[in-house]
Amino acid sequence: DQQVKQNSPSLSVQEGRISILNCDYTNSMFDYFLWYKKYPAEGPTFLISISSIKDKNEDGRFTVFLNKSAKHLSLHIVPSQPGDSAVYFCAAVDDYKLSFGAGTTVTVRA
């Protein structure tokens, strides 16, 4: 049973608008969360992370929000750009193991 879930397989957004990607988790032992971005035929690349003791982390156009009580996190991309079109994976850390969600494919329309 997947412990990290991304329930939206795809998201289409207009260039310049906000992209919001959601992620839910079930394991209360997770203490660190990360977002990875993946282009076709390439390995994932790290985007942004957040510790379980924080509720927000910002890096340029990317902001991650964590709601521990709801076991929910989200990634906001503002403004969305054509180069943001990719698959985004949510991931969570328990000890030395990383658990990934199924991914959300983001398409940014011109």
Partner 1 sequence: NAGVTQTPKFQVLKTGQSMTLQCAQDMNHEYMSWYRQDPGMGLRLIHYSVGAGITDQGEVPNGYNVSRSTTEDFPLRLLSAAPSQTSVYFCASSYLVGGLAATNEQFFGPGTRLTVL
Binding site for partner 1 (CB under 8 A): 2, 4, 6, 9, 31-32, 34, 41-46, 49, 51, 89, 91, 93, 95-103
Residue 44 vs 63, nearer CB to partner 1: 44
2/81 with CB nearer partner 1: 2
Single out the residue of 33, 1, 5 nearest to residue 104, CA to CA. Answer: 5
- C-alpha distance from residue 21 to each of 30, 63, 77 (Å): 19, 11, 9
- Rounded to a whole number of angstroms, the minimum distance from the CB of residue 29 to partner 1 is 12
Candidates 43, 19, 40; CA nearest to 100 is: 43
Q: Which is nearer to partner 1, 14 or 27 (by Cβ)?
A: 27
